[in-house]
Structure 1
Amino acid sequence: LAMQEFMILPTGASSFTEAMRMGSEVYHHLKSVIKGRFGLDATAVGDEGGFAPNILNNKDALNLIQEAIEKAGYTGKIEIGMDVAASEFYKGANTYDLDFKTRNNDGSQKISGDQLRDLYMEFCNEFPITSIEDPFDQ
């Protein structure tokens, strides 16, 4: 995945305690969804406690999170944030390589800043995204 992290934001919680409960429930539903699709090994967590299943595109990650939110019963109460860290895949000349982690990639996933903006707009129209951190090269 090009984008660094996806986060859930329990904006519909009325207290810190409720926000923690909502976050915990969605986390466990997400683990279950990932396990069902990719197997138990895909539920291992990284250094910061996040899942890293073997998915190839950012929209797949958003779909997994959306499904976990729905299964937990928090549609409309939990939104999504993305830490894109676009500087990591900026290649100069207004070009971003969404496949930058693949060695010797064919360049087919290089897009312009305008195309990246359009991708964010597409995500925001399809998913409850309210925060995009570091969306472009700094």
Structure 2
Amino acid sequence: GAKSFFEAMQMSTEIYHSLKALMKKKFGYSAGLIGDEGGFVSSEKDEEKKLELILNAVEETGYSGKVELAIDPASTEFYKNGKYFLGNKIFSAGELVDFYSELAEKFNIYSIEDGMAEEDWKGWNELNEALGNKYQIVGDDLLVTNIKFIERAIKENSCNSLLLKVNQIGSVSESIDSALLAFKNSWTVVVSHRSGETEDSFIADLVVGLGTGQSKFGAPARSDRNAKYNQLLRIEDSMKNSVYGKR
């Protein structure tokens, strides 16, 4: 993998543009257009084929074996009446856990965010019990950066990582308290952007200040996303003894 944030940023950007070219070639010019967070949308419905396309981009840039993938299924969006409706498939929570396990092994996935619906606490426990020792199981919609929900997730062994969104909980002090509670319980923390961002780059400083080692700011496109990455690059350049990717 990368030995510095600068190197990681270069790798990610090259993969992103390789993926863009592959998308346009396979699905047409409009597939290269980007959304609010800089992501692409394709007409492909099969989850595995989408992941294969990403790995093709990784291979084309020469980074095979050097990067791991993170996925955000946003499972609340396809959860209804205790079942998960994904494409033409219907999963129970346990079956969805097995599906994630297969995907993770096949596509070198390390992190799974919102793998279960926000109200499916039992499903979250199944997911973390089955995969938490091997993969990062990130709570976003489940936790909403709220200490009350983080405490419940710790008690019920629902996940092992917090997605930290400052403007979701509403204050810097509450965000720090949430992160410290997560760290105290041996969780990882991922400082995250939100949809509808501005060019404010404070959350990049928060990543370094808390020493989370992980951030989620969107694709390397659009000024509102790149502002955060550029700030991390400036910070790394100014801190000659910095350690990349570790808490």
1:97 aligns with 2:85: yes
Q: Give deviations 1:100-136, integer Å, cap 9, x for gaps.
A: xxxxxxxx42211111111101101111100000111
What is the correspondence of 1:70-85 to structure 2 with a 5 Å cutoff?
Answer: 70-85=59-74
Q: Mark the runs of 5 or more structure 1 residues left unpaired by the alignment.
A: 1-11, 100-107
Residue aligning to 1:23: 12
Residue aligning to 2:115: 135
Q: 1:113 aligns with which of 76, 86, 93?
A: 93
Q: TM-score, normalised by structure 1?
A: 0.81
| Aligned CA-pair RMSD | 1.1
Residue aligning to 2:156: none
Q: 1:69 aligns with which of 58, 65, 72?
A: 58
Q: Mark the runs of 5 or more structure 2 residues left unpaired by the alignment.
A: 119-247
Aligned length: 118
1:114 aligned counterpart, secondary structure: helix
Which structure 1 residue ranges, 4+ long, deviate > 3 Å from structure 2?
none
Instruction: State the identity as a percent.
Output: 44
Please give the alpha-carbon distance, in whole angstroms, between the structure 2 residues aligned to 1:74 and 1:22: 8
User: RCO higher in 1 or 2 (8 Å CA, sep ≥ 6)?
Assistant: 1
Bigger-Rg structure (1/2): 2
1:50 aligned counterpart, secondary structure: coil
Structure with greater helix percent: 2
1:44 aligns with 2:24: no
1:55 aligns with 2:44: yes
